[in-house]
A and B are shown apart, each in its own frame.
Chain A
């Protein structure tokens, strides 16, 4: 890759002033460090993954509003966690977390458990018991 071939696609709302280091050949055939403003390929892949997370999150939010899942499921998705990771973070067994994803069981949880979850998810206990009415803006 030559210096002038280093992609400089300034993609809106993606790079936010971030510049990635790239090694490229200068005119004398020597490697130099060239900061890149981003590449459309990078951006596309990144957007794909973001969209995937968002779609999953929104799906879970709808399921919570429909009463099929507990709000915990939504906040777990929001923090990109799995029951295993959330369990470790909150200090609970993964199978308990999985049970708590069911709304009827979640509704009977002790305040101490709710607090542990709220702390692990970096939200307040009041937030934890319900989900936002509207989809999250990004």
Chain B
């Protein structure tokens, strides 16, 4: 197996691409795209600048018939915001015509430009079969064309580059259903080699605070967390024990399984705060990073408690839905405090 683990690839125009593992698909892809253009930036930094951290409960969008609780902003937004704030010019296009979409992809990778595409996971056969769900929102990078189809780099899932057949690529890029990718492909056209990272960080942090505290709808941000926590406590009575476990498992899936780097992106954000603390030489940011880590640990505990509930769903366990909901309420309270503090700290920072 070890001989197959290629992490360095030569592109069509002779340049070298280095594959690096990342925690999340979108930030990983964004980081790789920017690095390829000569901007050395870390994944947590992109996550922070793009204001990826979020919480939202979306009862009106269903996945496998269950409402989504998301721990991040809308797919695509992190890339967009990070590009905007770092002064990156971006090419981004969707296609109506499948053939045109494939032709354009081929044309661009032939010039040696790596391209990120959004795909439906179900149709990707290089994915482990247990991960293949009908979910259109996975991003990876296409490097070049070869005899098997395309050579791709999937930073969030694999430690090495793989081949993806043309059939898979067509099906997954043009899959229909919720959140249709419609052949979305994107790449940076121009990257500023010396962007104002301090300013971008401040904007990113301010935006994160707004997302978490300022949306006047009780489904989003800290309010959304409280909303879901209260719902969790009521589930066993309202839905019955088995159905309640199903819903709880769905939250856990979005928190842990969907490439979040653990604890629903909370650790990545803590890593970002730490890096920003170094950049600004700010002790306060470092303290906030420690607090975010602690909150991440509480999320982790929530996952553990919930998993115990689910495991013993046939014989009722000592762990209860009240405890799980309570842990989530603690997270909500502590995050509210954290983002309020962050808002104050950011106000004092100078770009």
Which of B28, B64, B157, B159 is in CB contact (< 8 Å) with A49? B64
Closest approach, in angstroms, between the C-beta of A110 and any C-beta of chain B?
A: 22
Closest approach, in angstroms, between the C-beta of A57 and any C-beta of chain B?
A: 13
Which of B23, B64, B270 is in CB contact (< 8 Å) with A33? B23
Interface residues on A, range: 35 or more
Interchain CB contact under 8 A, B177 and A44? no
Which of A36, A41, A48 is in CB contact (< 8 Å) with B303? A41
Which among A62-70, A78-86, A99-107 touches the partner chain?
A78-86
A23: chain B residues within 8 A (beta carbon): 23, 44, 261-262, 267-268, 270-271
| Complex CA distance for A88 and B178, rounded to whole angstroms | 11
Which of A17, A22, A84 is in CB contact (< 8 Å) with B1? A17
Closest approach, in angstroms, between the C-beta of A81 and any C-beta of chain B?
A: 7
Interface residues on B, range: 35 or more
Task: Name the residue among A31, A40, A81, A89 with the largest chain B CB count within 10 angstroms.
Answer: A31
| Complex CA distance for A106 and B249, rounded to whole angstroms | 36
Q: Does B107 contact A (CB under 8 A)?
A: no
A108: chain B residues within 8 A (beta carbon): none
Q: Does A109 contact B (CB under 8 A)?
A: no
Interface residues of A in 1-57 (CB under 8 A from B): 1, 6, 14-25, 30-31, 33, 35-36, 39-42, 44-50, 52
Secondary structure type dominating chain A contacts: mixed
Do A49 and B249 contact each other (CB < 8 Å), given the known contacts A1-B293, A25-B293, A41-B303? yes
Do A31 and B23 contact each other (CB < 8 Å), given the known contacts A1-B262, A22-B261? no
| Complex CA distance for A74 and B133, rounded to whole angstroms | 17
B253: chain A residues within 8 A (beta carbon): 45-46, 49
Interchain CB contact under 8 A, B23 and A45? no
A133: chain B residues within 8 A (beta carbon): none
B23: chain A residues within 8 A (beta carbon): 20-23, 33
Interchain CB contact under 8 A, B270 and A22? no
Interface residues of B in 248-274 (CB under 8 A from A): 249, 252-253, 256-257, 259, 261-263, 267-268, 270-271, 274
Interchain CB contact under 8 A, A80 and B134? yes
A31: chain B residues within 8 A (beta carbon): 44, 267, 270-271, 274-275
Closest approach, in angstroms, between the C-beta of B99 and any C-beta of chain A?
A: 15
Closest approach, in angstroms, between the C-beta of B3 and any C-beta of chain A?
A: 14
Interchain CB contact under 8 A, B128 and A15? yes
A residues with a Cβ closer than 8 A to B are 1, 6, 14-25, 30-31, 33, 35-36, 39-42, 44-50, 52, 79-82, 84-85, 88-89, 122, 138
Identify 6 new A-B residue pairs, CB closer than 8 A, beyond the known A79-B122, A79-B134.
Answer: A16-B128, A21-B28, A31-B44, A31-B267, A41-B304, A48-B246
